[in-house]
Amino acid sequence: MIGNWSALQMQQVVRGFLAYQITGSFAALGGVALANSVPRLALALSGGVIADRSNRRHVMQLGQAFNALMAAVVATLLFMDMLRFEHLVIAAVFQGISNSFTQPARQAMIPQLVGSERLNNAIGLNTSAMNAMRLLAPALAGVLLATIGASWVYVLMATLYGCAVIAMTRVPAEIGQPGMRGGVSGGGAARPATARAGSPGGSRGGLRDIREAFAYLRREPMLMLLLVVHLFIVLFSQPYQRLLPGFVDDVLSSSPEQTAIRMGLLLTFTGLGALAGSLVVASLPNRGRGRLLIGSIVVLGLALLAFSASSIFWLSAAIVVVLGVGQAGRQSLSNILIQARVEDEYRGRISSIMMMEMGLESLGTFAIAVLAEAIGVQWALEGVAIGLLCVALVVAVLAPSYRRLD
């Protein structure tokens, strides 16, 4: 995960930087994000079916190898001075296709590996590692962009994806096999889950598997509520990072080189706060998580409101540390609460529904990017922050069962 996530974080810096420098358009930033997410809307449920019917480790390795190939292709175009905006869009589409299959498989493997009793700590530690890469990778990408150029950043990304493929070979093959319950956390081998009626099988059709996932959700209203709230949180929390290259260029810097470095630093400071927040979540007992999630949304909304109003770089850097704390809290706690309520045979498909929500997020990001083009990026981000605070208020007031979740 560290190899894969560090490459993704570097790509967020370099692809957004290149897109904005080539076009000078916030709509282009939203367009690249949309191109990456459309495949997830179309293929996420299929990815969930694959995660529930195929060896999850193999799915992840194939997807990471494909991402390495895409990064190598973009690096080659940069070395040949042939890269155009359309190439960034195409690469984003292909990466979206790959992630539609790898991410549900990754989410489904964690409970399988550690068992339900360690799920809170495992997801918290997994998020901590992701946030450690948020801390290191963007700053490194920004420095490399300003010193040796985008082509070498893509070479490094391809190498990191390759390292992720190799590292996954150390995960026991039986852990990636659907239907195996976590036993490794206690020192034993993974063991087959008891067969259930309705569990996906090799002879079954994918569409029937998808229909059963939605029927399962109808029987689990709290899980449905968690997914709906998760959708709105994602819609309002992600545009900050998607629009950051243009925000920094317009508001916080005076040259492309300064934009690259300061964008990397802001993402690094966000990662610093997120790392601290996720480590706190990893150490928490299994109680009061619904209230903590609502509190994390409030912290995120207030920090984003302050960030959007700031035009001083070092003040913005301090604010995004707090923003990172809220981001880590909402990410970890939402994932924990959802995964803790999903039966294993549906885990890949429910994870794929969460992936679809990430795809819908980019539709929202594109709309907000167009709004930023029309009224200014600071006003657009202020509107997003107010949206987050409204979500927290509605859930706190109208969903008492959500507040009481442990």
pLDDT digits (tens, 9 = 90+) for 46-68: 766 776 677 777 888 888 899 99
Q: pLDDT tens digits for 370-398? A: 888 888 888 888 888 898 898 888 888 87
Gap between the Cα atoms of 154 and 139, Å rounded: 15
Q: What are phi and psi of 230, to 5 degrees?
A: -60, -40
User: Rg of the Cα trace of the chain?
Assistant: 20
Query: Is the pLDDT assigned to residue 133 strictly greater than 70?
Result: yes
Q: Pick 258 or 399 by higher pLDDT.
A: 258
- Stretch 252-258: mean pLDDT, rounded? 80
Both ends of the chain: CA-CA distance in Å?
Answer: 27
CB-based contact 81:25 (threshold 8 Å): no
Q: How far apart are CA 16 and CA 135, in angstroms?
A: 18
Q: What is the pLDDT of residue 357?
A: 64
Band (203; pLDDT cuts 50, 70, 90)? very low
Cβ atoms of 239 and 381 within 8 Å: the answer is: yes
Selection from 64-68, 115-119, 274-278 with the highest mean pLDDT: 64-68
Residue 255: the pLDDT is: 80
Q: Which residue in 134, 72, 144, 62 sits closest to 98, CA to CA?
A: 62
The answer to whether 228 and 359 have CB atoms below 8 angstroms apart is: no
Range of weakest confidence among 10-24, 34-48, 230-244: 34-48
Query: Over the stretch 89-101, which tens digit does the pLDDT of each residue have?
Result: 898 888 888 877 7
Tally of CA atoms within 13 A in the half-sphere of 370 that contains its CB: 7
Q: Which two tokens stand for residue 329?
A: 């809290």
- Domains for the chain: give ranges and CATH numbers: 2-176+209-403 (1.20.1250.20)
Highest mean pLDDT among 74-78, 220-224, 242-246, 282-286: 74-78
**Residue in this structure with the two tokens 């080539």, named with its chain if needed:** 22
228 — phi, psi (to 5°)?
-65, -45
DSSP output for 315-374: HHHHHHHHHHHHHHHHHHHHHHHHHTTS-GGGHHHHHHHHHHHHHHHHHHHHHHHHHHHH
Range 26-48 burial, b when 16+ CB lie within 10 A, else e: bbbbbbbbbbbbbbbbebbbbbb
Residue 107's nearest CA partner among 275, 344, 348 is: 348
Which DSSP helix (H) or strand (E) runs through 73? helix 56-79
- The span from the CA of 133 to the CA of 8, in Å, is 9
The secondary structure of 384-399 as a DSSP string is HHHHHHHHHHHHHHH-
Average pLDDT, integer, range 180-196: 45
| Reported confidence tier of residue 201, pLDDT bands at 50, 70, 90 | very low
Confidence of residue 180 (pLDDT cuts 50, 70, 90): low
pLDDT at 234: 78
Amino acid, res. 91: A
Q: What is the pTM of this model?
A: 0.63
Q: What distance in Å separates the CA atoms of residue 276 and residue 58, rounded to the nearest whole number? A: 32
> Average pLDDT of 286-291?
73
Which pLDDT score is estimated for 73? 92
Q: How many CB atoms lie within 10 A of CB 81?
A: 7
Backbone dihedral angles phi then psi of residue 198, each to the nearest 5 degrees: 90, -5
pLDDT at 174: 66
Residues 6 or more apart whose CB falls under 8 angstroms from that of 80 comprise none
Q: What are phi and psi of 180, to 5 degrees?
A: -95, 130
Kindly report, residue by residue over 21-42, the tens digit of the pLDDT. 888 777 787 778 777 777 777 6
Q: Can you give the pLDDT at residue 181? A: 52
The Cα–Cα gap between 379 and 371 comes to 9
Q: Torsion over CA of 106, 112, 118 and 124, rounded to 10 degrees?
A: 0
| CA of residue 291 relative to chain centroid, distance | 22
